[in-house]
Structure 1
Amino acid sequence: MNQRIHEFLDYLRYERNLSSNTIESYQRDLIDYMDFVDTHGRQEDEQNVIHYLQFLQQEHRAPATQARRLAAIKAYYCFVVNDQGLSSDPTELLSAPKLNRRLPHVLSIEEVTRLIEAPDLSTMTGIRDRAMLELLYATGVRVSELCHLTMNDWWLDPPKIRCLGKGSKERYIPLGKLAAQWLMRYVDVARPQFIKDIQEPTLFLNRQGKALTRQGFWKLLKKYAIKAGITQPITPHMIRHSFATHLLENGADLRAVQEMLGHQDISTTQIYTHVSQKRLRPVYDQTHPRA
Protein backbone atom coordinates (compact mmCIF):
# COMPACT_ATOMS: atom_id res chain seq x y z
CA MET A 1 0.00 0.00 0.00
CA ASN A 2 1.54 3.32 -1.08
CA GLN A 3 2.20 6.28 1.18
CA ARG A 4 -0.56 8.45 -0.29
CA ILE A 5 -3.20 5.84 0.56
CA HIS A 6 -1.78 5.63 4.10
CA GLU A 7 -2.15 9.40 4.44
CA PHE A 8 -5.66 9.31 2.98
CA LEU A 9 -6.74 6.65 5.46
CA ASP A 10 -5.23 8.69 8.31
CA TYR A 11 -7.25 11.67 7.06
CA LEU A 12 -10.45 9.58 7.17
CA ARG A 13 -9.60 8.29 10.62
CA TYR A 14 -8.44 11.46 12.38
CA GLU A 15 -10.08 14.33 10.50
CA ARG A 16 -13.27 12.77 9.13
CA ASN A 17 -13.62 10.56 12.22
CA LEU A 18 -15.02 7.65 10.18
CA SER A 19 -15.56 4.24 11.72
CA SER A 20 -12.92 1.52 11.48
CA ASN A 21 -15.28 -0.58 9.32
CA THR A 22 -15.67 2.26 6.81
CA ILE A 23 -11.92 2.88 6.69
CA GLU A 24 -11.25 -0.82 6.11
CA SER A 25 -13.74 -0.76 3.23
CA TYR A 26 -11.94 2.24 1.65
CA GLN A 27 -8.62 0.47 2.12
CA ARG A 28 -9.77 -2.76 0.42
CA ASP A 29 -11.26 -0.86 -2.53
CA LEU A 30 -8.20 1.31 -3.07
CA ILE A 31 -5.78 -1.60 -2.80
CA ASP A 32 -7.81 -3.47 -5.42
CA TYR A 33 -7.68 -0.41 -7.69
CA MET A 34 -3.93 0.10 -7.21
CA ASP A 35 -3.27 -3.59 -7.85
CA PHE A 36 -5.05 -3.16 -11.18
CA VAL A 37 -2.91 -0.09 -11.97
CA ASP A 38 0.32 -1.94 -11.11
CA THR A 39 -0.64 -5.15 -12.92
CA HIS A 40 -1.49 -3.37 -16.16
CA GLY A 41 1.35 -0.85 -15.99
CA ARG A 42 -1.03 2.06 -16.36
CA GLN A 43 -0.88 5.69 -15.28
CA GLU A 44 -3.25 7.16 -12.72
CA ASP A 45 -5.41 9.05 -15.20
CA GLU A 46 -9.07 9.21 -16.25
CA GLN A 47 -8.66 6.55 -18.94
CA ASN A 48 -7.16 4.19 -16.41
CA VAL A 49 -10.10 4.59 -14.03
CA ILE A 50 -12.46 3.90 -16.95
CA HIS A 51 -10.48 0.74 -17.77
CA TYR A 52 -10.77 -0.33 -14.13
CA LEU A 53 -14.56 0.15 -14.14
CA GLN A 54 -14.77 -1.83 -17.38
CA PHE A 55 -12.72 -4.56 -15.72
CA LEU A 56 -15.21 -4.68 -12.82
CA GLN A 57 -18.05 -5.05 -15.32
CA GLN A 58 -16.25 -7.88 -17.09
CA GLU A 59 -15.82 -9.56 -13.71
CA HIS A 60 -19.61 -9.28 -13.28
CA ARG A 61 -19.27 -7.20 -10.14
CA ALA A 62 -22.60 -5.84 -8.91
CA PRO A 63 -23.46 -2.22 -9.81
CA ALA A 64 -23.41 -1.41 -6.08
CA THR A 65 -19.83 -2.71 -5.84
CA GLN A 66 -18.79 -0.68 -8.89
CA ALA A 67 -20.39 2.45 -7.44
CA ARG A 68 -18.70 1.93 -4.07
CA ARG A 69 -15.28 1.38 -5.68
CA LEU A 70 -15.64 4.53 -7.78
CA ALA A 71 -16.76 6.51 -4.70
CA ALA A 72 -13.62 5.39 -2.84
CA ILE A 73 -11.39 6.30 -5.79
CA LYS A 74 -13.07 9.72 -6.20
CA ALA A 75 -12.67 10.46 -2.47
CA TYR A 76 -9.01 9.44 -2.64
CA TYR A 77 -8.19 11.66 -5.63
CA CYS A 78 -10.11 14.58 -4.15
CA PHE A 79 -7.89 14.28 -1.08
CA VAL A 80 -4.71 14.01 -3.17
CA VAL A 81 -5.63 17.07 -5.25
CA ASN A 82 -6.52 19.22 -2.24
CA ASP A 83 -3.88 18.02 0.20
CA GLN A 84 -0.94 16.95 -1.92
CA GLY A 85 -1.15 19.20 -4.96
CA LEU A 86 -2.07 16.70 -7.69
CA SER A 87 -2.64 18.87 -10.78
CA SER A 88 -6.00 17.37 -11.77
CA ASP A 89 -8.59 14.88 -10.57
CA PRO A 90 -8.87 11.97 -13.04
CA THR A 91 -12.33 11.08 -11.72
CA GLU A 92 -13.85 14.55 -11.92
CA LEU A 93 -16.03 13.81 -14.97
CA LEU A 94 -16.89 10.21 -14.07
CA SER A 95 -20.24 9.22 -12.57
CA ALA A 96 -21.27 6.02 -10.85
CA PRO A 97 -23.62 3.50 -12.49
CA LYS A 98 -27.27 4.10 -11.72
CA LEU A 99 -28.51 1.77 -9.02
CA ASN A 100 -31.89 0.17 -8.68
CA ARG A 101 -32.52 0.23 -4.95
CA ARG A 102 -33.64 -3.17 -3.73
CA LEU A 103 -36.23 -3.34 -1.01
CA PRO A 104 -34.74 -4.71 2.21
CA HIS A 105 -35.85 -8.14 3.38
CA VAL A 106 -37.81 -8.05 6.62
CA LEU A 107 -39.20 -10.61 9.05
CA SER A 108 -42.84 -10.72 10.05
CA ILE A 109 -43.72 -9.84 13.63
CA GLU A 110 -44.47 -13.53 14.24
CA GLU A 111 -41.04 -14.56 12.93
CA VAL A 112 -39.32 -11.94 15.08
CA THR A 113 -41.21 -13.23 18.13
CA ARG A 114 -40.17 -16.83 17.46
CA LEU A 115 -36.56 -15.74 16.90
CA ILE A 116 -36.41 -13.72 20.13
CA GLU A 117 -37.92 -16.58 22.14
CA ALA A 118 -35.54 -19.20 20.70
CA PRO A 119 -32.67 -19.02 23.28
CA ASP A 120 -32.60 -21.58 26.10
CA LEU A 121 -33.27 -19.53 29.23
CA SER A 122 -31.98 -22.27 31.55
CA THR A 123 -28.43 -21.24 30.55
CA MET A 124 -26.48 -18.04 31.11
CA THR A 125 -25.69 -17.76 27.39
CA GLY A 126 -29.40 -18.13 26.64
CA ILE A 127 -30.24 -15.21 28.94
CA ARG A 128 -27.49 -13.13 27.32
CA ASP A 129 -28.69 -13.98 23.82
CA ARG A 130 -32.32 -13.23 24.68
CA ALA A 131 -31.27 -9.81 26.01
CA MET A 132 -29.27 -9.10 22.83
CA LEU A 133 -32.11 -10.12 20.52
CA GLU A 134 -34.62 -8.09 22.51
CA LEU A 135 -32.31 -5.08 22.42
CA LEU A 136 -31.55 -5.43 18.70
CA TYR A 137 -35.24 -5.49 17.75
CA ALA A 138 -36.24 -2.84 20.31
CA THR A 139 -33.71 -0.28 19.06
CA GLY A 140 -32.78 -1.16 15.47
CA VAL A 141 -29.08 -0.65 16.18
CA ARG A 142 -26.45 -2.11 13.90
CA VAL A 143 -24.83 -5.29 15.18
CA SER A 144 -21.47 -3.49 15.48
CA GLU A 145 -23.16 -0.86 17.65
CA LEU A 146 -24.75 -3.59 19.77
CA CYS A 147 -21.42 -5.33 20.33
CA HIS A 148 -19.70 -2.06 21.29
CA LEU A 149 -22.19 -1.07 23.99
CA THR A 150 -20.63 -0.61 27.42
CA MET A 151 -22.02 -0.70 30.95
CA ASN A 152 -22.22 3.10 30.81
CA ASP A 153 -24.39 3.15 27.69
CA TRP A 154 -27.78 2.21 29.14
CA TRP A 155 -30.27 3.62 31.64
CA LEU A 156 -33.54 2.45 33.19
CA ASP A 157 -35.04 5.81 34.19
CA PRO A 158 -36.21 6.35 31.54
CA PRO A 159 -35.13 3.16 29.70
CA LYS A 160 -32.75 4.08 26.87
CA ILE A 161 -29.37 3.28 25.38
CA ARG A 162 -26.62 5.41 23.91
CA CYS A 163 -24.68 4.21 20.89
CA LEU A 164 -21.99 5.52 18.59
CA GLY A 165 -22.95 5.16 14.95
CA LYS A 166 -21.08 5.84 11.74
CA GLY A 167 -18.55 8.59 12.13
CA SER A 168 -18.77 8.13 15.93
CA LYS A 169 -22.03 10.08 15.96
CA GLU A 170 -23.79 9.68 19.28
CA ARG A 171 -27.51 9.00 19.52
CA TYR A 172 -29.95 7.94 22.23
CA ILE A 173 -32.67 5.38 21.56
CA PRO A 174 -35.59 4.57 23.88
CA LEU A 175 -36.01 1.04 25.20
CA GLY A 176 -39.29 -0.83 25.45
CA LYS A 177 -40.35 -2.43 28.72
CA LEU A 178 -39.53 -5.99 27.64
CA ALA A 179 -36.08 -5.10 26.34
CA ALA A 180 -35.31 -3.18 29.55
CA GLN A 181 -36.43 -6.15 31.68
CA TRP A 182 -34.27 -8.64 29.79
CA LEU A 183 -31.28 -6.32 29.81
CA MET A 184 -31.60 -5.94 33.57
CA ARG A 185 -31.92 -9.70 34.01
CA TYR A 186 -28.78 -10.27 31.94
CA VAL A 187 -26.77 -7.70 33.89
CA ASP A 188 -27.94 -8.99 37.28
CA VAL A 189 -27.88 -12.75 36.65
CA ALA A 190 -25.83 -13.73 33.60
CA ARG A 191 -23.12 -11.13 33.00
CA PRO A 192 -21.40 -11.76 36.38
CA GLN A 193 -20.91 -15.38 35.25
CA PHE A 194 -18.96 -14.23 32.16
CA ILE A 195 -16.70 -11.67 33.85
CA LYS A 196 -13.01 -12.55 33.99
CA ASP A 197 -11.75 -8.98 34.41
CA ILE A 198 -13.81 -6.78 36.70
CA GLN A 199 -12.59 -3.73 34.75
CA GLU A 200 -14.09 -5.00 31.44
CA PRO A 201 -16.52 -2.26 30.29
CA THR A 202 -18.23 -4.10 27.42
CA LEU A 203 -21.88 -4.91 28.06
CA PHE A 204 -22.22 -8.21 26.21
CA LEU A 205 -19.45 -10.73 26.91
CA ASN A 206 -18.48 -14.12 25.54
CA ARG A 207 -17.41 -17.13 27.62
CA GLN A 208 -13.83 -15.83 27.74
CA GLY A 209 -15.02 -12.62 29.35
CA LYS A 210 -14.23 -10.57 26.23
CA ALA A 211 -16.55 -8.51 24.04
CA LEU A 212 -18.82 -10.68 21.88
CA THR A 213 -17.87 -10.02 18.25
CA ARG A 214 -20.13 -9.34 15.26
CA GLN A 215 -19.11 -12.68 13.79
CA GLY A 216 -19.90 -14.47 17.04
CA PHE A 217 -23.35 -12.91 17.21
CA TRP A 218 -24.03 -13.73 13.54
CA LYS A 219 -23.36 -17.42 14.25
CA LEU A 220 -25.77 -17.32 17.20
CA LEU A 221 -28.41 -15.61 15.07
CA LYS A 222 -28.22 -18.28 12.37
CA LYS A 223 -28.60 -21.01 15.01
CA TYR A 224 -31.68 -19.35 16.52
CA ALA A 225 -33.20 -18.74 13.08
CA ILE A 226 -33.06 -22.47 12.37
CA LYS A 227 -34.56 -23.21 15.78
CA ALA A 228 -37.34 -20.66 15.13
CA GLY A 229 -38.18 -22.28 11.79
CA ILE A 230 -37.16 -19.25 9.70
CA THR A 231 -36.27 -20.61 6.28
CA GLN A 232 -35.05 -17.45 4.52
CA PRO A 233 -31.37 -16.46 4.92
CA ILE A 234 -31.06 -14.13 7.90
CA THR A 235 -28.60 -11.42 8.86
CA PRO A 236 -28.42 -9.09 11.88
CA HIS A 237 -29.27 -6.20 9.55
CA MET A 238 -32.56 -7.90 8.70
CA ILE A 239 -33.68 -7.29 12.29
CA ARG A 240 -32.79 -3.61 11.85
CA HIS A 241 -34.89 -3.55 8.66
CA SER A 242 -37.76 -5.26 10.50
CA PHE A 243 -37.56 -2.76 13.37
CA ALA A 244 -37.96 0.20 10.98
CA THR A 245 -40.65 -1.40 8.84
CA HIS A 246 -42.79 -2.51 11.78
CA LEU A 247 -42.59 0.96 13.34
CA LEU A 248 -43.74 2.64 10.13
CA GLU A 249 -46.51 0.09 9.59
CA ASN A 250 -47.85 0.99 13.00
CA GLY A 251 -47.85 4.73 12.39
CA ALA A 252 -44.42 5.90 13.54
CA ASP A 253 -43.17 9.24 12.25
CA LEU A 254 -40.53 8.91 9.52
CA ARG A 255 -38.28 11.53 11.13
CA ALA A 256 -38.38 9.68 14.45
CA VAL A 257 -37.39 6.43 12.73
CA GLN A 258 -34.57 8.26 10.93
CA GLU A 259 -33.29 9.56 14.28
CA MET A 260 -33.39 6.13 15.91
CA LEU A 261 -31.63 4.45 12.99
CA GLY A 262 -28.97 7.15 12.87
CA HIS A 263 -29.48 7.90 9.18
CA GLN A 264 -27.93 11.19 8.09
CA ASP A 265 -30.21 11.49 5.05
CA ILE A 266 -33.94 10.84 5.33
CA SER A 267 -33.96 9.38 1.81
CA THR A 268 -32.15 6.37 3.28
CA THR A 269 -35.00 5.88 5.74
CA GLN A 270 -37.69 6.34 3.09
CA ILE A 271 -36.89 2.94 1.58
CA TYR A 272 -38.84 1.43 4.48
CA THR A 273 -41.98 3.28 3.45
CA HIS A 274 -41.85 1.37 0.16
CA VAL A 275 -41.65 -1.89 2.10
CA SER A 276 -44.69 -0.88 4.12
CA GLN A 277 -46.65 0.04 0.97
CA LYS A 278 -45.68 -3.26 -0.67
CA ARG A 279 -47.07 -5.14 2.32
CA LEU A 280 -50.31 -3.12 2.26
CA ARG A 281 -51.55 -4.83 -0.91
CA PRO A 282 -52.20 -8.31 0.51
CA VAL A 283 -53.70 -6.76 3.65
CA TYR A 284 -56.09 -4.72 1.50
CA ASP A 285 -57.00 -7.70 -0.68
CA GLN A 286 -57.75 -9.85 2.35
CA THR A 287 -59.71 -7.33 4.40
CA HIS A 288 -61.59 -4.90 2.10
CA PRO A 289 -65.11 -6.20 1.34
CA ARG A 290 -64.95 -5.09 -2.30
CA ALA A 291 -61.30 -5.91 -3.01
Structure 2
Amino acid sequence: MTDAQPSRIPLVVDTDTASDDCFALLLALRDPRADLRAITMVQGNVGFDQQVHNAFLTLEVAGRLGDVPVHLGARESLAGGWVGAEDVHGDGVGGQRRTNDAAPDPEPAVDALLRLSRAHEGELRIVAIGPLTNLAHAIDRDPGFAARVRELVIMGGSLDGVGNVTPHAEYNIYADVEAAAAVLGAPFPRVRLVTWSPLTLRDAVFDATRVARIDALGTAMSDFFVRANRAPFDFDVAHGVGGSTHPDTLSVLTAIDPAVVLEERAVEVDVVRAGERRGATDVRDATAASSLTAVTRADGERLYAAMLGILAGER
Protein backbone atom coordinates (compact mmCIF):
# COMPACT_ATOMS: atom_id res chain seq x y z
CA MET A 1 0.00 0.00 0.00
CA THR A 2 1.31 3.44 -0.87
CA ASP A 3 0.70 6.95 0.34
CA ALA A 4 2.34 10.13 -0.89
CA GLN A 5 4.66 11.41 1.82
CA PRO A 6 7.05 14.30 2.29
CA SER A 7 10.78 13.55 2.45
CA ARG A 8 10.71 13.85 6.25
CA ILE A 9 7.49 13.31 8.12
CA PRO A 10 6.51 15.71 10.94
CA LEU A 11 5.78 13.37 13.81
CA VAL A 12 4.68 13.42 17.44
CA VAL A 13 4.90 10.32 19.62
CA ASP A 14 2.47 10.30 22.55
CA THR A 15 3.81 7.73 24.97
CA ASP A 16 3.86 6.09 28.40
CA THR A 17 7.52 5.29 27.99
CA ALA A 18 8.50 1.76 29.00
CA SER A 19 10.13 -1.11 27.11
CA ASP A 20 8.63 -1.21 23.59
CA ASP A 21 7.66 2.48 23.85
CA CYS A 22 11.38 3.22 24.26
CA PHE A 23 12.21 1.17 21.19
CA ALA A 24 9.49 2.95 19.22
CA LEU A 25 11.10 6.23 20.25
CA LEU A 26 14.51 4.99 19.08
CA LEU A 27 12.99 4.37 15.66
CA ALA A 28 11.33 7.79 15.58
CA LEU A 29 14.57 9.45 16.71
CA ARG A 30 16.99 7.63 14.42
CA ASP A 31 15.11 6.86 11.20
CA PRO A 32 15.87 9.56 8.60
CA ARG A 33 12.29 9.52 7.33
CA ALA A 34 10.97 10.81 10.66
CA ASP A 35 11.09 14.44 11.79
CA LEU A 36 10.15 13.93 15.43
CA ARG A 37 8.85 17.28 16.64
CA ALA A 38 7.88 16.31 20.19
CA ILE A 39 7.49 13.53 22.71
CA THR A 40 4.32 13.95 24.76
CA MET A 41 4.01 12.00 28.00
CA VAL A 42 0.80 10.37 29.21
CA GLN A 43 -0.05 8.28 32.26
CA GLY A 44 0.36 4.58 31.68
CA ASN A 45 2.78 1.69 31.93
CA VAL A 46 4.88 2.74 34.93
CA GLY A 47 4.92 5.63 37.39
CA PHE A 48 4.81 8.99 35.63
CA ASP A 49 8.18 10.23 36.88
CA GLN A 50 9.76 6.93 35.84
CA GLN A 51 8.27 7.36 32.37
CA VAL A 52 9.86 10.80 32.11
CA HIS A 53 13.19 9.34 33.21
CA ASN A 54 12.85 6.61 30.57
CA ALA A 55 12.15 9.14 27.82
CA PHE A 56 15.27 11.14 28.62
CA LEU A 57 17.33 7.95 28.91
CA THR A 58 16.13 6.94 25.45
CA LEU A 59 17.03 10.35 24.04
CA GLU A 60 20.47 9.99 25.61
CA VAL A 61 21.03 6.51 24.19
CA ALA A 62 19.85 7.69 20.75
CA GLY A 63 22.29 10.59 20.77
CA ARG A 64 19.44 13.08 20.41
CA LEU A 65 19.35 14.67 23.86
CA GLY A 66 18.38 18.33 23.51
CA ASP A 67 17.06 17.87 19.97
CA VAL A 68 13.48 16.84 20.74
CA PRO A 69 11.40 18.36 23.56
CA VAL A 70 9.57 16.24 26.11
CA HIS A 71 6.19 17.65 27.16
CA LEU A 72 4.34 16.46 30.25
CA GLY A 73 0.70 15.51 29.93
CA ALA A 74 -2.04 13.77 31.86
CA ARG A 75 -1.06 11.91 35.04
CA GLU A 76 -4.53 10.38 35.44
CA SER A 77 -7.25 9.02 33.19
CA LEU A 78 -10.32 11.12 32.36
CA ALA A 79 -12.26 9.22 35.02
CA GLY A 80 -9.45 9.66 37.54
CA GLY A 81 -6.79 7.29 38.76
CA TRP A 82 -4.05 5.32 37.08
CA VAL A 83 -3.77 1.69 36.02
CA GLY A 84 -0.11 0.67 35.79
CA ALA A 85 1.54 -2.29 34.07
CA GLU A 86 4.69 -2.62 36.17
CA ASP A 87 4.07 -6.37 36.49
CA VAL A 88 4.93 -6.54 32.78
CA HIS A 89 7.58 -3.85 32.40
CA GLY A 90 9.25 -3.49 35.79
CA ASP A 91 10.62 0.05 35.65
CA GLY A 92 10.51 -0.09 31.84
CA VAL A 93 14.26 0.01 31.23
CA GLY A 94 15.72 -2.88 33.20
CA GLY A 95 17.18 -0.71 35.95
CA GLN A 96 19.22 1.49 33.60
CA ARG A 97 19.76 5.08 34.72
CA ARG A 98 20.25 8.22 32.70
CA THR A 99 23.39 10.29 33.26
CA ASN A 100 21.79 13.55 32.06
CA ASP A 101 19.76 16.03 34.08
CA ALA A 102 17.64 17.29 31.18
CA ALA A 103 14.28 18.75 32.16
CA PRO A 104 10.92 18.60 30.39
CA ASP A 105 9.80 21.51 28.24
CA PRO A 106 7.56 23.87 30.24
CA GLU A 107 4.86 23.76 27.56
CA PRO A 108 2.20 21.19 28.56
CA ALA A 109 1.63 18.24 26.25
CA VAL A 110 -1.85 19.32 25.14
CA ASP A 111 -0.62 22.81 24.27
CA ALA A 112 2.22 21.28 22.25
CA LEU A 113 -0.17 19.00 20.37
CA LEU A 114 -2.44 21.91 19.48
CA ARG A 115 0.47 24.16 18.46
CA LEU A 116 2.10 21.52 16.27
CA SER A 117 -1.22 20.63 14.64
CA ARG A 118 -1.49 24.26 13.55
CA ALA A 119 2.16 24.61 12.52
CA HIS A 120 1.99 21.41 10.42
CA GLU A 121 -1.66 21.45 9.44
CA GLY A 122 -2.47 18.63 7.05
CA GLU A 123 1.02 17.13 7.48
CA LEU A 124 1.41 16.14 11.12
CA ARG A 125 1.25 12.47 12.04
CA ILE A 126 0.64 11.49 15.65
CA VAL A 127 1.53 8.04 16.91
CA ALA A 128 -0.30 7.27 20.15
CA ILE A 129 1.30 4.31 21.90
CA GLY A 130 -0.16 4.81 25.39
CA PRO A 131 -3.60 5.59 26.78
CA LEU A 132 -5.37 8.29 24.77
CA THR A 133 -5.85 10.82 27.57
CA ASN A 134 -3.75 13.63 26.09
CA LEU A 135 -5.51 13.40 22.74
CA ALA A 136 -8.92 13.45 24.39
CA HIS A 137 -7.96 16.62 26.26
CA ALA A 138 -6.73 18.20 23.00
CA ILE A 139 -10.03 17.37 21.27
CA ASP A 140 -11.97 18.86 24.17
CA ARG A 141 -9.86 22.03 24.17
CA ASP A 142 -10.01 22.61 20.43
CA PRO A 143 -12.71 20.95 18.29
CA GLY A 144 -10.63 21.72 15.17
CA PHE A 145 -7.62 19.76 16.39
CA ALA A 146 -8.54 16.41 14.88
CA ALA A 147 -9.17 17.79 11.39
CA ARG A 148 -5.69 19.37 11.26
CA VAL A 149 -3.88 16.06 11.81
CA ARG A 150 -2.96 14.17 8.64
CA GLU A 151 -2.93 10.75 10.28
CA LEU A 152 -3.32 9.29 13.75
CA VAL A 153 -1.84 5.85 14.39
CA ILE A 154 -3.19 4.25 17.57
CA MET A 155 -1.70 1.22 19.25
CA GLY A 156 -4.73 -0.16 20.98
CA GLY A 157 -7.59 -2.60 21.07
CA SER A 158 -8.09 -6.03 19.57
CA LEU A 159 -9.88 -7.23 16.47
CA ASP A 160 -10.98 -10.51 17.99
CA GLY A 161 -11.90 -9.50 21.54
CA VAL A 162 -8.75 -10.91 23.13
CA GLY A 163 -7.26 -8.64 25.78
CA ASN A 164 -3.94 -8.45 27.60
CA VAL A 165 -5.04 -6.76 30.83
CA THR A 166 -8.46 -8.41 31.16
CA PRO A 167 -9.78 -11.30 29.04
CA HIS A 168 -11.52 -8.72 26.83
CA ALA A 169 -9.52 -5.48 27.00
CA GLU A 170 -6.16 -4.32 25.66
CA TYR A 171 -4.17 -2.17 28.09
CA ASN A 172 -4.02 1.19 26.28
CA ILE A 173 -7.80 1.25 25.83
CA TYR A 174 -8.55 -0.11 29.29
CA ALA A 175 -6.28 2.44 31.01
CA ASP A 176 -8.55 5.26 29.82
CA VAL A 177 -11.76 3.94 28.34
CA GLU A 178 -13.49 7.32 28.18
CA ALA A 179 -10.54 8.88 26.34
CA ALA A 180 -10.47 6.03 23.83
CA ALA A 181 -14.17 6.48 23.10
CA ALA A 182 -13.69 10.24 22.60
CA VAL A 183 -10.69 9.88 20.30
CA LEU A 184 -12.17 7.11 18.17
CA GLY A 185 -15.27 9.24 17.75
CA ALA A 186 -13.39 12.37 16.68
CA PRO A 187 -13.18 13.53 13.03
CA PHE A 188 -9.54 12.70 12.26
CA PRO A 189 -9.06 12.48 8.47
CA ARG A 190 -7.30 9.15 8.84
CA VAL A 191 -6.89 6.78 11.80
CA ARG A 192 -5.02 3.50 11.72
CA LEU A 193 -5.39 0.95 14.50
CA VAL A 194 -2.46 -1.31 15.32
CA THR A 195 -4.11 -3.87 17.56
CA TRP A 196 -2.96 -6.38 20.14
CA SER A 197 -4.71 -9.47 18.83
CA PRO A 198 -4.31 -11.06 16.43
CA LEU A 199 -1.95 -8.58 14.70
CA THR A 200 0.75 -8.06 17.33
CA LEU A 201 0.73 -11.68 18.48
CA ARG A 202 1.30 -12.85 14.91
CA ASP A 203 3.41 -10.15 13.23
CA ALA A 204 5.27 -8.18 15.92
CA VAL A 205 6.99 -10.77 18.13
CA PHE A 206 10.76 -10.96 18.58
CA ASP A 207 11.69 -14.50 19.61
CA ALA A 208 14.86 -15.58 21.42
CA THR A 209 16.79 -15.95 18.15
CA ARG A 210 15.95 -12.40 17.10
CA VAL A 211 16.85 -10.98 20.51
CA ALA A 212 20.15 -12.90 20.50
CA ARG A 213 21.00 -11.38 17.12
CA ILE A 214 20.30 -7.93 18.54
CA ASP A 215 22.47 -8.71 21.57
CA ALA A 216 25.33 -9.72 19.27
CA LEU A 217 25.40 -6.25 17.68
CA GLY A 218 27.24 -4.96 20.75
CA THR A 219 26.23 -1.32 20.32
CA ALA A 220 25.06 1.04 23.05
CA MET A 221 21.56 0.96 21.58
CA SER A 222 21.43 -2.82 21.29
CA ASP A 223 22.63 -3.19 24.88
CA PHE A 224 19.91 -0.75 25.95
CA PHE A 225 17.32 -2.76 24.03
CA VAL A 226 18.31 -6.11 25.53
CA ARG A 227 18.23 -4.84 29.11
CA ALA A 228 14.98 -2.90 28.72
CA ASN A 229 13.38 -5.82 26.88
CA ARG A 230 14.23 -8.51 29.43
CA ALA A 231 11.24 -8.08 31.77
CA PRO A 232 8.53 -8.00 29.08
CA PHE A 233 10.24 -10.84 27.18
CA ASP A 234 10.14 -13.04 30.25
CA PHE A 235 6.56 -12.02 31.04
CA ASP A 236 5.33 -12.69 27.52
CA VAL A 237 7.04 -16.07 27.28
CA ALA A 238 5.63 -17.08 30.66
CA HIS A 239 2.16 -16.26 29.31
CA GLY A 240 2.47 -18.34 26.17
CA VAL A 241 3.78 -15.77 23.69
CA GLY A 242 6.83 -16.80 21.69
CA GLY A 243 8.90 -13.75 22.54
CA SER A 244 8.60 -10.05 23.32
CA THR A 245 5.83 -8.06 21.64
CA HIS A 246 6.52 -4.83 19.73
CA PRO A 247 3.27 -3.16 18.66
CA ASP A 248 4.54 0.32 19.61
CA THR A 249 7.52 0.03 17.29
CA LEU A 250 5.21 -1.30 14.58
CA SER A 251 2.97 1.73 15.10
CA VAL A 252 5.83 4.19 14.51
CA LEU A 253 6.97 2.25 11.47
CA THR A 254 3.41 2.29 10.11
CA ALA A 255 3.50 6.11 10.21
CA ILE A 256 6.82 6.45 8.37
CA ASP A 257 6.94 3.34 6.17
CA PRO A 258 3.49 2.36 4.86
CA ALA A 259 5.01 -0.66 3.08
CA VAL A 260 5.09 -2.45 6.44
CA VAL A 261 1.28 -2.64 6.23
CA LEU A 262 0.37 -5.61 4.07
CA GLU A 263 -3.38 -5.58 4.65
CA GLU A 264 -5.89 -3.29 6.34
CA ARG A 265 -9.64 -2.86 6.27
CA ALA A 266 -12.09 -0.06 6.92
CA VAL A 267 -13.84 -0.57 10.24
CA GLU A 268 -16.11 0.96 12.83
CA VAL A 269 -15.25 0.56 16.52
CA ASP A 270 -17.35 0.74 19.64
CA VAL A 271 -15.48 1.03 22.93
CA VAL A 272 -17.30 -0.89 25.68
CA ARG A 273 -17.61 1.45 28.66
CA ALA A 274 -19.43 -0.63 31.27
CA GLY A 275 -19.64 -4.11 32.70
CA GLU A 276 -17.15 -6.93 32.72
CA ARG A 277 -16.17 -6.15 29.11
CA ARG A 278 -15.21 -2.54 29.93
CA GLY A 279 -12.35 -1.52 27.67
CA ALA A 280 -13.11 -4.04 24.96
CA THR A 281 -13.19 -2.84 21.35
CA ASP A 282 -16.09 -4.18 19.32
CA VAL A 283 -14.86 -3.96 15.73
CA ARG A 284 -16.99 -4.44 12.63
CA ASP A 285 -16.50 -3.77 8.95
CA ALA A 286 -17.51 -0.27 7.96
CA THR A 287 -20.83 -0.05 6.15
CA ALA A 288 -19.99 3.34 4.61
CA ALA A 289 -16.91 5.38 3.85
CA SER A 290 -14.73 5.38 6.96
CA SER A 291 -11.57 7.22 7.92
CA LEU A 292 -10.75 4.43 10.38
CA THR A 293 -8.83 1.37 9.27
CA ALA A 294 -7.43 -1.55 11.21
CA VAL A 295 -4.13 -3.06 10.16
CA THR A 296 -4.88 -6.76 9.73
CA ARG A 297 -1.52 -7.97 8.47
CA ALA A 298 1.97 -6.47 8.78
CA ASP A 299 5.40 -7.39 7.46
CA GLY A 300 7.09 -8.71 10.58
CA GLU A 301 10.41 -9.23 8.81
CA ARG A 302 10.41 -5.61 7.64
CA LEU A 303 9.68 -4.48 11.20
CA TYR A 304 12.54 -6.54 12.61
CA ALA A 305 14.94 -5.40 9.88
CA ALA A 306 14.10 -1.76 10.60
CA MET A 307 14.73 -2.22 14.31
CA LEU A 308 17.93 -4.17 13.68
CA GLY A 309 19.24 -1.40 11.45
CA ILE A 310 18.52 1.25 14.07
CA LEU A 311 20.14 -0.74 16.87
CA ALA A 312 23.20 -1.45 14.73
CA GLY A 313 23.63 2.29 14.23
CA GLU A 314 23.13 2.05 10.47
CA ARG A 315 20.65 4.92 10.15
What TM-score does the superposition give when structure 2 sets the normalisation length?
Answer: 0.25
Select the structure of larger CA radius of gyration: 1
Higher helix proportion: 1
Higher strand proportion: 2
Higher relative contact order (CA 8 A, sep 6+): 2
What TM-score does the superposition give when structure 1 sets the normalisation length?
Answer: 0.27
